[in-house]
Structure 1
Amino acid sequence: MAMSAVARDTVFALRRQIAKIEGTLPERLEAPVPGAPRTISGRAIPGKVRSGLPSGIAEPTGSGVTIVRRGLAVASPDAFLHTGIERLDTALGGGLPKAALSEIHGLETRDAGTVAGFALSLASLILKQKQGLPVLWIGTAEIFREAGFPYARGLHALFGIEPEQLLFSEAPKLLDALWIAEEAARMTAFAAVILEIRGSSRLLDLTATRRLHARAQAAGRPVLLLRQAGEAEPTAAPVRLIVSAAPAASRETLAGPLAGSIGRPAFTVDIGKSRTALPGQFTLEWNPDEHAFAERTENSVAVVPVPLRGTDPAPASGAVLAFPPVASPAAISPTAGDQPSRQQRPAHRSPRRTG
């Protein structure tokens, strides 16, 4: 019996720790009390301990019961950064968590500008609420050399961010960048911290991301992890958004869409991981005048043909033939004038002389 009580306490502690890591706080999490009736939602339940219960309820242990609802934690609306897109915020369970680590992933190096633009859009929304505080952007010399720095005039014109509101920290190695990010994430002097890395590294494992997530929760500030050209790997971030460039729509005028024009910048956002585990794909446009997102649902016009991942798309089939049809097989027989001369024949078909 003593061993059984120790085992119950150990299982309870592990479940509590897992719930904290996953960010799914239980609606009701009670330690088993010896001699108390087993209850679920206030109702006594008979039966023995068994496994294989539904995913919404933890299995009873001993004479008590540990109830772990795998639903969403009850949080106030102020705990999330609302993107302004109702469908996206609903799919994310309220929006991006403010006091957490959020991952923004670009699948290829050419998506670096798109990922940076999406991060600056989020930073613009954050600075509306945290006025007077700067944003710290951390990266290695390699990533800044490959992707470059944001343009100061573009920051103000497109996102409403003053140049002095965006601070950069260039580290020689990824290990140094992670150390800077951990120290900056615990500070309340920044409105947000952005860590940009390139590729996949063994240094960015679950342990490193858990530290960043814990520091963000303690300081109540968001930490954005920008990943360029890396495979999706397990991290402690509750939210992972996969961002790529979307074709720009035509510019709207009073007379309607202006043909051949380039409209607002657009992003294709896929939910790779979230608190709700709901997948979804959204096409968002950034309004540089109002500094807000808008969802685009109508068909867009591609200004530049975008090839598929790795290969170009096959041309559409049509009724136009490369050669006109012939009346009979005799019409395609070659004539003497069509035969190439000896000098025009390929070298590999001429006889090879030896000796």
Structure 2
Amino acid sequence: MATSAVARETVFALRRQIAKIEGTLPERLAVPAGERPRARAEGCLHAAPEPDSDVTIIRRGLAAALPDAFLATGIERLDAALSGGLPKAALSEIHGLETRNAGAVAGFVLSLVSLILKGQPLPVLWIGTSEIFREAGFPYARGLQGMFGIAPEQLLFSEAPKLTDALWVAEEAAKMTALAAIILEIRGSPQRLDLTATRRLHARAQNAGRPVFLLRQAGEAEPTAAPVRLIVSVAPATSRRTIAGPLAGSIGHPAFTVSIGKSRTALPGQFTLEWNPDEHAFEERKPREKRPENSVAVVPASGGRTDPAPAPGTVVAFPAFGSFPARDQPSRPQRPAHIGPRRAG
């Protein structure tokens, strides 16, 4: 009996360690009738007692977690699809398929950071390579304060010359509890950003209880240890809302198209979110809220003209080339200059 109990506890410990690395929930071994487990499972996200018993049950997949285990976006449909939101103590991947979406991906992550920083003065560390900062640039300090409510001194930057250095800085920073979150921005699909490297980041985030956001710019969707992958791109902004209605020709709040590429629930979904800089909160754009057509001419008329040219009338056939009468041929000095030979110099 003692040997079987020790073996059962060893299996429990191994399952807990595997579940911690993979970001899933372990399963409880079957307990023989009349015997209670000597040790309860630790590190689980959900535990519920059996009827007429105090045995801990650990379920896999859909589970009711602790209320503070996830970062809720405030969008009910998105949070439900993510089973509560983004995990706080985990590695989350925010993916941009094209380089032109770098601004949208950074803005979406800064929106999440704004939600995290509500009520706490801790700083955030943004790590990136020299390549990505040259390509996508740095966030504008004054824009951080006005758009996301993030003070410039709360956002720290670490520019690494190589990816190995950026990964080392991220792993060391993920162990610190003095940071509210860590952002690691990487361009492309480097070989060093493999499953082993992301597992190390995910384990450090779990141990510290802090989120680590992996920003993938212009890279392929590859296997990572992140339990959640969101694909973000820019969405067209609607007109600015006023008391009298939408203001034609204006630009409203920034908008993001967010697709769930991977999650614990494996539920797909696509959402159009707007960031409200005044409330520092997301708002979901309903499908019927389409961008109004622009009734203003794209190119204004010239100042010296009255009305644009009228629509063309009946199309007539022109005579074939070379059939013009001799009197209609232009004289030699009137021939276009480009017909003559090009002179060098």
**Alignment TM-score, normalising by the size of structure 2:** 0.74
1:142-186 CA-to-partner distances (Å, cap 9, x unmatched) read 111111111111010000000100000111110000000000001
Q: Structure 1 residue 125 and structure 2 residue 115: aligned?
A: yes
Show the counterpart of 1:168.
157
The CA distance in 2 between the partners of 1:91 and 1:23, in whole Å, is: 17
Distance 1:323 1:270, change over 3 A: farther
Distance 1:164 1:170, change over 3 A: same
> Do the aligned partners of 1:24 and 1:72 also contact (CA within 8 Å) in 2?
no
Q: Give the C-alpha shift of residue 24 in structure 1.
A: 2.6
Show the counterpart of 2:106.
116
1:79-107 CA-to-partner distances (Å, cap 9, x unmatched) read 00011111110011100100000000011
Pick one of 82, 89, 105 that aligns with 2:79. Answer: 89
Show the counterpart of 2:253.
264
Q: Give the C-alpha shift of residue 119 in structure 1.
A: 0.8
Show the counterpart of 2:202.
213
Distance 1:235 1:256, change over 3 A: same
**Alignment TM-score, normalising by the size of structure 1:** 0.72
Q: Structure 1 residue 103 and structure 2 residue 93: aligned?
A: yes
Distance 1:268 1:212, change over 3 A: same
Q: Give the C-alpha shift of residue 33 in structure 1.
A: 5.7
Distance 1:152 1:235, change over 3 A: same
Q: Which secondary structure state, in structure 2, belongs to the residue aligned with residue 102 of structure 1? A: strand
> Do the aligned partners of 1:270 and 1:282 also contact (CA within 8 Å) in 2?
yes
Q: Which secondary structure state, in structure 1, belongs to the residue aligned with residue 80 of structure 2? A: helix
Mean Cα deviation higher: 293-302 or 209-218: 293-302
> Do the aligned partners of 1:12 and 1:31 also contact (CA within 8 Å) in 2?
no
Distance 1:31 1:109, change over 3 A: same
State the aligned residue count.
284
> Do the aligned partners of 2:101 and 2:233 also contact (CA within 8 Å) in 1?
yes
Pick one of 124, 136, 151 that aligns with 1:147. Answer: 136
The CA distance in 1 between the partners of 2:228 and 2:30, in whole Å, is: 30
The CA distance in 2 between the partners of 1:192 and 1:121, in whole Å, is: 12
The CA distance in 1 between the partners of 2:64 and 2:241, in whole Å, is: 41
The CA distance in 2 between the partners of 1:322 and 1:204, in whole Å, is: 60
Show the counterpart of 1:273.
262
The CA distance in 2 between the partners of 1:338 and 1:182, in whole Å, is: 83
Q: Give the C-alpha shift of residue 322 in structure 1.
A: 9.2
1:215-259 CA-to-partner distances (Å, cap 9, x unmatched) read 000000000000101001000000100000000000011110111
> Do the aligned partners of 1:248 and 1:301 also contact (CA within 8 Å) in 2?
no
Unaligned ranges ≥5, structure 2 = 1-7, 36-56, 295-310, 336-345
The CA distance in 1 between the partners of 2:155 and 2:175, in whole Å, is: 18
> Do the aligned partners of 2:20 and 2:203 also contact (CA within 8 Å) in 1?
no
1:173-204 CA-to-partner distances (Å, cap 9, x unmatched) read 10000000000001100000000010111111
Q: Structure 1 residue 300 and structure 2 residue 300: aligned?
A: no
Q: Give the C-alpha shift of residue 300 in structure 1.
A: 2.1
Q: Give the C-alpha shift of residue 141 in structure 1.
A: 1.1
Q: Give the C-alpha shift of residue 13 in structure 1.
A: 8.0
The CA distance in 2 between the partners of 1:284 and 1:190, in whole Å, is: 27
Q: Give the C-alpha shift of residue 71 in structure 1.
A: 2.2
Q: Structure 1 residue 241 and structure 2 residue 230: aligned?
A: yes
Q: Which secondary structure state, in structure 2, belongs to the residue aligned with residue 337 of structure 1? A: coil
Query: What percent of counterpart residues are identical?
Result: 77
Show the counterpart of 1:55.
none
The CA distance in 2 between the partners of 1:114 and 1:163, in whole Å, is: 20
> Do the aligned partners of 2:21 and 2:202 also contact (CA within 8 Å) in 1?
no
**Code of the aligned partner of 1:150:** P
Q: Structure 1 residue 71 and structure 2 residue 70: aligned?
A: no
The CA distance in 2 between the partners of 1:302 and 1:283, in whole Å, is: 19
Q: Structure 1 residue 199 and structure 2 residue 198: aligned?
A: no
Show the counterpart of 2:38.
none
1:51-86 CA-to-partner distances (Å, cap 9, x unmatched) read xxxxxxxxxxxxxxxx98542243112100011111
Show the counterpart of 1:183.
172
Q: Which secondary structure state, in structure 1, belongs to the residue aligned with residue 224 of structure 2? A: coil
Q: Structure 1 residue 225 and structure 2 residue 224: aligned?
A: no
